Amino acid sequence: MNLDEFKTNCQITWCPGCGNFAVFSALKKALLELKLKPSDVLVVYGIGCHGHMVNYLKTFGFDGRALPVATGAKLANKNLTVIVIAGDGDQLGEGGNHLIHAAKRNTDITCLLHNNQLYALTVGQSSPTSEKSFKSRSAPKGVQEEPLNSVALALAANSSFVARAFAGNVRNLTKIFVEAIKHKGFSFVDILQPCVTLNYLNTYNYFYPKVYDINEANFDFKNKASAFEKSFEWGEKIPIGIFYKKERETFEEFFPQTKEKPLGKVDIENINIDNLLKEFS
């Protein structure tokens, strides 16, 4: 296998320098490293510039409200590697409740959150993670509220794997993707992904001197209290790496119908629901 197996013939239309390119490259490298074929993988895409990846990445794909669709797909076929490509707008704004409940259930899904700290596809409105005082089309005098802390939210929602990565470091990005996909349970990766066209504040030059890998300093990612404390570090230093990791029962393992084999392969020919229909009719 090689990287070309995950490539389509569609022309990429992201802005030159967009952080999406790094995420796209790292994801292909991670799938290759894990020896996954395109037919082994379902990627469900949210709404935003990141969602255009459905045209560029050759796997099974679905475009819509990402986490609910991904949850249903994993329940139907637990043998699929299910990945969600989402953004700070669609997943932390309109889809915030989806993230909380997917993390709580611990469905075996990997959620890769493209966090460019604004709504890029609709040309630059503030998003839930936009920094305070950031001026945008929807907040011309500056954002008044504090940004949503997506790493802390994932930890509070009981995600069993929480990490942050930076699109300016493809090697580290790939490494974290590999670990997130390998993890059995809900994996959340917050990706600092600069929008070079519309976000004048959170640029590559903004992040390069600030980001540092907590795992290089032997950070204890089994300690949830330490993970919470580290998640609130943002300023002169911004931590990336694996914040928290713990194995626990997945959502699909809880149900006897999905524990042994994929739901789509369960024999239903001898199931009679006549009595149920009489009871509830």
pLDDT band at 268 (very low <50, low <70, confident <90, very high): confident
Residue 8 lies in a domain: no
Summarize pLDDT for 86-114 with one digit per residue, the tens: 999 899 988 899 999 999 999 999 999 99
Residue 2 lies in a domain: no
The upper half-sphere exposure of residue 133, i.e. CA atoms within 13 Å in the direction of its Cβ, equals: 1
Supply the mean pLDDT for the chain: 94
Q: Would you state the torsion angle of the CA atoms of residues 47, 50, 54, 58, taken in this order, to the nearest 10 degrees?
A: -160
Residue 183 lies in a domain: yes
7/10 Cα distance (integer angstroms)? 9
46/86 Cα distance (integer angstroms)? 5
Residue 7 lies in a domain: no
247/155 Cα distance (integer angstroms)? 14
Residue 211: predicted pLDDT: 97
* Coil, strand or helix at 85: strand
Give 131-172 as a DSSP string: PTT---SS-TT---SPPP-HHHHHHHTT-SEEEEEETT-HHH
Has residue 260 got a pLDDT over 80?
no
260/247 Cα distance (integer angstroms)? 19
Lowest mean pLDDT among 94-98, 130-134, 263-267: 263-267
Summarize pLDDT for 151-204 with one digit per residue, the tens: 999 999 999 999 999 999 999 999 999 999 999 999 999 999 999 999 999 999
Residue 73: predicted pLDDT: 94
Number of domains in the chain: 1
Range of the domain at 193: 17-280
Residue 1 lies in a domain: no
Q: Report the CATH number at residue 53.
A: 3.40.50.970
